[in-house]
Amino acid sequence: MAQTPAVEIQNVSFRYGSHQALDDVSLSIARGEIFVFLGPNGSGKTTLFRLLSTLIPPQQGTIRILGHSVTEESLQVRRQIGVVFQAASVDGKLSVWENLRHQGWLYGLSGAHLRERIEEMLQQLGLAERRDQAVEKLSGGLRRRVELAKGLLHRPRVLLMDEPSTGLDPAARSDLWNYLERIRRQQQVTVVMTTHLLEEAEKADRLAILDRGRLVALDTPGALRSQIGGDIVSLQCEDPQQVARIIEEKLQLTPAVIDHTVRLEHPQGHRLVSELAPLVQEYVRSITVGKPTLEDVFIQRTGHRFWAAEPTQQDPAQQEAPA
Amino acid sequence: MNDPASVPAVESGPEAGTASGWLAAWSLGLREWLRFVRQRNRVVGSLGQPLLFWLFFGEGFRETFQLPQGGQQVPFREFFFPGVLVLILLFTAIFVTISIIEDRREGFLQAVLVSPVPNWALVLGKLVGGTAIALVGALVFLLLGLTLNLQPGLWGLVGTVVFLFVSGLSLTGMGFILAWRMDSTQGYHAVMSVVLFPMWLLSGAFFPPPPGVLGYLMLVNPMTYAVGGVRRMLYWNAPQLAAASGDPPLWLCWAVTLGFCAAMIALGAWVSRSRTQGDLR
């Protein structure tokens, strides 16, 4: 019998008042995948995370985790998922050990078995020396490790993480990814995380790109990039409309204009540049040629820049909260 | 994070057992304790103010306070004593339940809400943990009763402790219900000033029920029955002194307090099922 997927999301929509946070999202995540929801702030990924974590029920559509409905069988779901929120869920007044013991008790672990599990997590996450320290005295990076230890203590089959890299320096981020790879390999844990960092999404097995509540792309990072033909040529200029017109007329190409950039996909970027340069050199500040990135995928699918999709630089949750 | 080689490969599978509500409740209650004892200012705050109230008002009204009905008189210090015990319960209940707002803001509560813990365990842990803290404070204060002419006897003393526990549970429950849907501690402070504290003022802690509107208000105030019950228990061996204070009969105090307590727990369990704006932070 085929295994049920780790996560199945079908036609899920969610509104906060008049704000449509999620709009008919459907996708499925296989067991053992490291899956990333990528999107700018306000894209709906945090809302989706809340629905997956059973914090709030979906208004429309269904979500099943390991075959169990998050609304009707939330208890079965909760036992099998580990949740790492973006905000700290540890109690700063309690020690690392006490926080983990508390978490274990919430999940029905106790006695010698719980002590063993805590020891194991402390060792794995390099927290053994800190066990008796109050969490509020730890650095941000160490606190995130305690969060991770909490989320993994009961050996969840699916680990859900909301923006886990927030507040981590690059070295700690790399440690985190190594660790996630390891638990996936050794314990077949499915890892589902949200991020607004393009470089982080590159490391996923598969990713879903969300924009304004809609699912705009779903594939492996490589496949998504390869859907863009060849190279990306970008021209920075003051009057992009005029430059685009010139390119359309003289070269019969259809460039995209985004902010002050004229953007072209072309199988051989460097050749295009040699054709372009004489035509537009008086109007452009710079011409760059590059291999497509996930940002290019985002631009291609949405018609706007990744960061431009952010209305303001606020806390993402506030933007997704009801008006 | 350590060397991957040091980690044994483990057969996958969640280990969360049938989540024991009792264990979870114990854990949440224990946490209240640990937090309380680690924050000295909270210990001082919840006991200090009632103690000062008792000393200052007791001394201030010493000459002027007089019970009606021309019955047996008790000094204000003594009349006020059960009210201060209930005030300790009330203050602790406020301190304990205001942390719900902080827990939600900081994220601790969300982690509990997505764990396989039944709602009743969340409510029970918070309420019993908080009440235990309140009770210890009240018992310490009760020792000061040795300086008064209270006559509880053994049974009255046991009854007082039980009564304080039930009252503490209902006040913590009331605080829980108020705090659950609030997003700011400022809002809670406002409710404390215009609802909780006036309830205590009109509980028979300060003065016996006067004739008129105020007397009726006191009749419908559940805290009146908490203060009245404690006072009657403390005068177990001298019921005429309690009667002079105009408190409701003991059976009524028990009935109202137990009913109020049950209602607060049930309502607490019910509201805790709702999600608030604060959960979406």
* pLDDT tens figures, A16-74: 888 899 999 999 999 999 999 998 888 899 999 999 999 999 999 999 999 999 999 98
* Closest approach of A197 to chain B, Cα-based (Å): 20
Inter-chain touch A50–B280, beta carbons under 8 Å = yes
Chain B contacts of A155, Cβ < 8 Å? 10, 12-15
Which of A44, A41, A35 lies closest to A6 in space, CA to CA?
A35
Nearest to B13 among A106, A155, A176 (CB): A155
| Interface-testing mutation among B6, B11, B12, with chain A (most A C-beta atoms within 10 A) | B12
Could you tell me if A94 lies within 8 Å of chain B, comparing CB atoms? Answer: yes
Chain B contacts of A318, Cβ < 8 Å? 281
Could you tell me if A168 lies within 8 Å of chain B, comparing CB atoms? Answer: no
Residue B216 lies in a domain: yes
Could you tell me if A111 lies within 8 Å of chain B, comparing CB atoms? Answer: no
pLDDT tens sequence across B155-191: 989 999 999 999 999 999 999 999 998 888 898 989 8
Inter-chain touch A81–B114, beta carbons under 8 Å = yes
Chain A contacts of B26, Cβ < 8 Å? 105
Spans in chain B with pLDDT lower than 70: 1-19, 69-72, 277-281
Burial A178-213 (b: 16+ CB within 10 A, else e): ebbebbbeebbbbbbbbbbebebbebbbbbbbbbbb
* Closest approach of B216 to chain A, Cα-based (Å): 43
Q: Is the pLDDT of residue A320 over 70?
A: no
pLDDT tens sequence across A258-275: 878 888 888 888 888 888
Nearest to A75 among B1, B116, B281 (CB): B116
Residue B14, pLDDT score:
52
pLDDT tens sequence across B81-116: 999 999 999 999 998 899 899 888 888 999 999 999
Q: Which domain holds residue B214?
A: 21-274
Measured distance CA(A231)–CA(A221) in Å, rounded: 16
Q: Please report the domains of chain A, with CATH numbers, ordered by start residue.
A: 7-224 (3.40.50.300), 229-291 (3.30.70.940)
Q: Angle between the A96-106 and B21-38 helix axes, to the nearest 10 degrees?
A: 160
Chain B contacts of A150, Cβ < 8 Å? 111
Chain A contacts of B39, Cβ < 8 Å? 93
| Interface-testing mutation among A105, A117, A127, with chain B (most B C-beta atoms within 10 A) | A105
**pLDDT, average across residues A191-195:** 94
Phi, psi of B52 (to 5 degrees): -65, -40
Inter-chain touch B117–A106, beta carbons under 8 Å = yes
Measured distance CA(A33)–CA(A190) in Å, rounded: 5
Q: Is the pLDDT of residue A236 over 70?
A: yes
Measured distance CA(B80)–CA(B74) in Å, rounded: 10
* Residue, of A3 and A55, whose pLDDT is higher: A55
Inter-chain touch B107–A53, beta carbons under 8 Å = no
Contact status, residue B133 vs residue B42, Cβ threshold 8 Å: no
Chain B interface with A: residues with Cβ < 8 Å: 1-2, 4, 6-20, 23-24, 26-28, 30-31, 34-35, 38-39, 106-108, 110-117, 275, 277, 279-281
Q: Roughly how many angstroms between the first and final C-alpha of chain B, as a whole number?
A: 29
Tokens of A35: 């899956």
Residue B101 lies in a domain: yes
Could you tell me if A174 lies within 8 Å of chain B, comparing CB atoms? Answer: no
Contact status, residue B103 vs residue A102, Cβ threshold 8 Å: no
Q: Is the pLDDT of residue A311 over 80?
A: no
How many CB atoms are closer than 10 A to CB A112?
7
What band does A115 get if pLDDT is binned at 50, 70 and 90? Answer: very high
* Closest approach of B277 to chain A, Cα-based (Å): 8
Residue B153, pLDDT score:
85
Residue B279 lies in a domain: no
* Closest approach of A201 to chain B, Cα-based (Å): 21
* Closest approach of A272 to chain B, Cα-based (Å): 47
Residue A18, pLDDT score:
86
Nearest to A179 among B1, B8, B34 (CB): B1
**Chain A residue with minimal CA distance to B8?**
A186
**Residues 1-60, chain A: which have Cβ within 8 Å of B?**
16, 50, 53-56
The total number of structural domains in chain B stands at: 1
Chain B contacts of A127, Cβ < 8 Å? none
Residue A37, pLDDT score:
95
Residue B10 lies in a domain: no
Measured distance CA(B206)–CA(B216) in Å, rounded: 16
Inter-chain touch A87–B35, beta carbons under 8 Å = no
| Interface-testing mutation among A31, A59, A106, with chain B (most B C-beta atoms within 10 A) | A106
The neighbouring-strand residues paired with B15 are: none
Mean pLDDT of chain A: 87
Burial A71-104 (b: 16+ CB within 10 A, else e): eeebebbbbbbbbbbbbbbbbebbbbbbbbbbbb
Which of A203, A202, A193, A186 lies closest to A147 in space, CA to CA?
A193
Residue B148 lies in a domain: yes
Residue B280, pLDDT score:
65
Could you tell me if A228 lies within 8 Å of chain B, comparing CB atoms? Answer: no
Distances (CA, A) of B189 to A179, B108, B185: 44, 21, 6
According to the 3-state scheme, what is the secondary structure of chain A?
A: CCCCCCEEEEEEEEEECCEEEEEEEEEEECCCCEEEEECCCCCCHHHHHHHHCCCCCCCEEEEEECCEECCCCHHHHHHHEEEECCCCCCCCCCEHHHHHHHHHHHCCCCHHHHHHHHHHHHHHCCCHHHCCCEHHHCCHHHHHHHHHHHHHCCCCCEEEEECCCCCCCHHHHHHHHHHHHHHHHHHCCEEEEEECCHHHHCCCCEEEEEECCEEEEEECHHHHHHCCCCEEEEEEECCHHHHHHHHHHHHCCCCEEECCEEEEEECCHHHHHHHHHHHHCCCEEEEEEECCCHHHHHHHHHCCCCCCCCCCCCCHHHHHCCC
According to the 3-state scheme, what is the secondary structure of B211-227?
A: CCHHHHHHHCCHHHHHH
Which of A67, A33, A26, A31 lies closest to A48 in space, CA to CA?
A26
What ipTM was reported for this prediction?
Answer: 0.82
Q: Roughly how many angstroms between the first and final C-alpha of chain A, as a whole number?
A: 46
| Interface-testing mutation among B108, B120, B183, B277, with chain A (most A C-beta atoms within 10 A) | B108
Question: Locate tokens 């219900």: which residue?
Answer: B177
**pLDDT, average across residues A165-189:** 86
Could you tell me if A145 lies within 8 Å of chain B, comparing CB atoms? Answer: yes
Share of chain A above pLDDT 70, in %: 94
Contact status, residue A90 vs residue A130, Cβ threshold 8 Å: no
Inter-chain touch B16–A93, beta carbons under 8 Å = no
* Closest approach of A34 to chain B, Cα-based (Å): 16
Could you tell me if A90 lies within 8 Å of chain B, comparing CB atoms? Answer: yes
Nearest to A83 among B27, B111, B275 (CB): B111
Residue B237, pLDDT score:
86
Bridge-based pairing state of the strands A206-211 and A214-219: antiparallel
CB-based contacts of B270, cutoff 8 Å, min separation 6: none
